[in-house]
Structure formats: structure tokens, C-alpha cells
Structure 1
Amino acid sequence: MSNQYDNIGEAYNIKKELTYTLLQDANVEAVIKPYIRGARVLDLACGNGHHSRACIGWGASSVVGVDISPTMIGVARRLTTLEQIEFEVADCSKPKVYRGGEYDLVFAGWLLNYAPSGNDMTNMFRNVALNLKDGGHFVAITPHPTEDPKAHIEAMLAASEGKRGRDMYLTGFVEGGVSARVVLTPRDPKAESVGFDTYYLRKSVYEKAAKEGGFESGLAWTAISIPDGFEESLGDRKEEGLHTYVTAPPMAFMVTCKELSGSRN
């Protein structure tokens, strides 16, 4: 798994001011709500700790955030004052037992999209299963599930017309999908954009990797939506084309459960 974020560091904080991020977090809160209260959470690919801190606000009892980038973990530690959160540097694509034992909930804001192949994604699911207690849940933000990632990226670009503050561009083809470049554009025209490389694999690749990685129950997907009152809450951040987040969605929310030991064959 790439540590390209070592070259991004503090600049990644521009993400928090984007409408894209605000809408993402409103949706994550709704999806994670049934599992978060009092939960011990493992936040994989935690970056600057944004979702680690949010999980405490949403009701988690403790969080361990893990990221491959020492630079991003350094940023996370500087931005975090909550004693219920700890951070660790590790490659989330390789199975490893993290501190604290088995967790009630594993959350991955953006992890699975960094798998360049089905085999790499399977190892990510294995890592999650290794750290999740029986009956625990795995919640992830992923690209919108589709069997034609190339066409969906083209649809997103056509719909957004540069209004979202986040664009994804096709850069090549890989086993199971495509490679892409994501560019975050800050609201301040004087600030620099931030870019990073990612992968957009087919929905069937995700489903196969989940089963091979220890989640026989399969995946449930929730499409992005615009909550009631969200547009009004933006105030002067309100932007045109908010509906395109739904008509050409940049993300979806995936949930799966680790089966209880007694239910396995």
C-alpha cells in the first residue's frame, strides 16, 4: 500500500472545508449510528484522524487510528487532544493484530480504494476480520459500486463540471478495474490543490474479496443521499449542482458483519 500521503501532510486538511466532505460525514454518521454507541473502534487508513475524532463525537468509547504514513499520523496526533484516541503507524493492507485486541467496529474512511487488485483487497478484508470480534461490523466509504468504473468516472466528471471541489480522472487500467487520480480543490483560489492516486475496482471484485477475506455474509451498500436540511446548513458554502452527488455519486457506504463462531460451517 502506497505511503503517498507522506508528501501531502497538513495540506490534506483542505478536505474538511469541502461540501463533498460535509455531505460524506453526514451520510457516514447515519450509516454508522446503529453500531457506534459505546463501541471500541479501529479506524483503518485514518489519515489526519478526522474520522477517529468524529467517532468519539458519534458515541464510540475509544478509537485506535492506523495509517501507513508517519507524516499523516504525526498530523493526527497534533490535531487530537481526546484521550480516548490513540494512533499507530502500520500498513492496513497487511493482516496484523493491532493494540487493544478485537474491536466492536472497524471503520475505513477510504482504504479499499487503494487496492490495485482483488488479491490486495482480499488482504485488506483479512486484516479487518483479524481485528474484528465475532458479530462485529465493518463500515467503509468506497467508490460508488459499479461494474463499469470507467463509465462512472466519466459520468461524475460530466456532472460536476469542477463544482464539487473533488474530481477523479482516469489514468489507466488494472486487473479488475481502473486506476485514477483524485484532485481536491480548496475554496481559497490562492491555496494549492492536493492530488493522490487511487483505484476504482468493479463491484464484483469487492464482493469476491470480502468473501475470501472472511466475510461470508456478503456486503450491503448504502447510496449517498442529501439529508433534510443539509443544503440550508451550508450557508454561504452552498453550491450549485448539489443534486449531482446523487445522480453521479462519488462514493457509497459499505457494511458487512463478521459472523458468530457458532454460525460458521
Structure 2
Amino acid sequence: MNDQFDALGPSYEETAELPLRRYLEMPGILAAVGDVRGLSVLDVGCGSGIYTRCLKRSGARRVVGLDVSPGMVQAARERERQEQLGIDYVLGDAVGAKSLGTFDLAVAVYVLPYAETENQLRAMCQGIAGAISDHGRFVTATSNPHLSADPNWYAPYGFTVQCAATRTDGTTMTLAAGAGDLRFSATAYHWTRETHEQALKQAGFGELMWKSPQPTEEGLTRLGSAYWERYIACPHSLILDCRKSRSPIDPRKPA
């Protein structure tokens, strides 16, 4: 996966200004994550550090960003040198996440869809679970198992997805996106809801909750409800909130 994103580096930051990311994706993921004050957090597939910095600024005690792309890690480290937030960025993949220590919370935005085989998907989930404490949580944005097969369905939101109408586990998906002068594409893989859940439960997560993010009030005001209807009807990604235990022990159920 690293060669798909290696050349993007700092330019990837521009995608955060896309309305879909600014008014729906990022607020939805951060709401699902909830209160991180005092927690140790691992951002798997951190890219250039967009979410990693948000987590640190929200009061997380320790934040580590992990990414398989040297170019992304270099960009994130350069931003850290400028801002000095106290974030560590590590080059590596989800499978080896356990080597970084134990965290209260792990976050992974668009990581699981890049597993090329079911065995790799399981290994990713096991690696992430191994880095989370016994009562910790894992919040991940992953591809919607029922995303639209219409390649232009998501075009109003700044990207397209090419995939077969009839999909099985491992079916290839190609996402092409752009923001400003930035244009890029990436190949990912379809996994059913059942396969996601099996991989996560085998890794040790006992409680799973699927969530569909909604636009913020600002997003509705600025762009109108009609703009969002198409996406809400068939989002390209969903959020999975995974807990290792049903215990009420913090960390930290969002309100």
C-alpha cells in the first residue's frame, strides 16, 4: 500500500478541505472516538497526521502515529517539527502495532480496506488488538460493504469509486479523488460486513457497533440538505466502534 500514497506527502492535507471530509467524515469519526483526555492513542494509517494532531490537541496524553508509507511519515514528522505537539510518528504496518506498546484507544481511518487477502485483514485486526489494553477501544472508518456500484455516485463529493456491481470478499475497488491541484487514485478491496466482524471478533473485540456519520449543522447550513441526500442514502464508508470488553471502565464511551 505504501507506494499508492508515498508521493502525496504534504499535499494530502488538501483533502481535509473537501466538504465531505470537513463536514461529515472528520466530525463523525471524532464524535465516535469521544473524549480522549488523558488517554494513550494509536493512530494506525496516520498518513500526514491529520487525525493524529486532532487527537493530541483534544487532550490525549500520548499519541503515536503509525503508517506504512515513508513519504507520509516524513510529511507528518516535518509537521511535528514545526508544531512540536509531542507526537511520535513510526514507520510500520498494522500487523506490527503491538511492538509500540499498549494503548487505551486505537483509531484507523481507511486502513482495513487495503488488506489484500482475508488472512491479511485478520492479521491487521490482530495486530491492532494486540496494541490495545484489555478494556480498550478501536474506532475505524472502513468501506461500506454496500457502497454504490455506480462509479459516479460519489462524484459530487470529490471522488469516484470503480467496483463491480456483484462483489465478493477481495473484489478490487479503485478510488480516484482530487482536491485543488491534487489528483490521486488508490486500489482497495471489498470485505463484507460478516468478514469484517469475524476478523475483529477473532482478534478479541467482543462488542462491535456500526455507525453512519451524518453532516454537521454547519455542513447542512452551508451546502443545504439536498447536497447530502445522495451520500447519506449510500455512504462509501461506515464507522466501526469496537470494544474489547463490555466493562464500564474508561476509556471512554462518547456521550
Give TM-score scaled by structure 1 length. 0.83
2:207 paired with 1:221: no
User: Residue 149 of structure 2 corresponds to which residue in structure 1?
Assistant: 154
Query: Of the candidates 176, 187, 191, which is equivalent to residue 197 of structure 1?
Result: 187
Query: Of the candidates 230, 233, 236, which is equivalent to residue 250 of structure 1?
Result: 236
Distance 2:164 2:71 in 1: 26
Q: 1:213–1:172: structure 2 CA closer, same or farther, 3 Å change rule?
A: farther
Amino acid at match of 1:54: C
Q: 1:74–1:120: structure 2 CA closer, same or farther, 3 Å change rule?
A: same
Q: 1:14–1:126: structure 2 CA closer, same or farther, 3 Å change rule?
A: same
Q: 1:173–1:121: structure 2 CA closer, same or farther, 3 Å change rule?
A: farther
Contact preservation (8 Å) 2:43, 2:51: yes
Amino acid at match of 2:228: L
Contact preservation (8 Å) 2:152, 2:161: no
Amino acid at match of 2:187: D
Q: What SS is found at the alignment partner of 1:106?
A: strand
Q: CA deviation at 1:6?
A: 1.4
**Equivalent pairs: percent with the same residue?**
25
Distance 1:133 1:3 in 2: 31
Q: CA deviation at 1:158?
A: 5.0
Distance 1:260 1:242 in 2: 34
Distance 1:128 1:109 in 2: 13
Q: 1:87–1:172: structure 2 CA closer, same or farther, 3 Å change rule?
A: farther
User: Residue 67 of structure 2 corresponds to which residue in structure 1?
Assistant: 67
Distance 1:59 1:254 in 2: 22
2:154 paired with 1:166: no
Bigger Cα displacement from structure 2, 194-203 vs 130-139: 194-203
Deviations 1:96-146 (A, max 9, x none): 4333x21010111121111122211111111111110110000001112x3
Number of equivalenced pairs = 244
Contact preservation (8 Å) 2:125, 2:200: yes
Q: What SS is found at the alignment partner of 2:116?
A: coil
Q: CA deviation at 1:173?
A: 8.6
Q: What SS is found at the alignment partner of 2:96?
A: coil
User: Residue 16 of structure 2 corresponds to which residue in structure 1?
Assistant: 16
2:39 paired with 1:78: no
Give TM-score scaled by structure 2 length. 0.86
Q: What SS is found at the alignment partner of 1:184?
A: strand
Contact preservation (8 Å) 2:4, 2:185: no
Distance 2:37 2:240 in 1: 19
Q: 1:239–1:220: structure 2 CA closer, same or farther, 3 Å change rule?
A: closer
User: Residue 45 of structure 2 corresponds to which residue in structure 1?
Assistant: 45
Superposed CA RMSD: 2.5
Deviations 1:47-94 (A, max 9, x none): 0011100112333122100000111000111123233211000022x2
User: Residue 27 of structure 1 corresponds to which residue in structure 2?
Assistant: 28
Name stretches of at least 5 consecutive residues in structure 1 with no aligned partner. Answer: none
Distance 1:227 1:105 in 2: 24
Name stretches of at least 5 consecutive residues in structure 2 with no aligned partner. Answer: 248-255
Q: What SS is found at the alignment partner of 2:47?
A: coil
Amino acid at match of 1:164: Y
Amino acid at match of 1:138: F
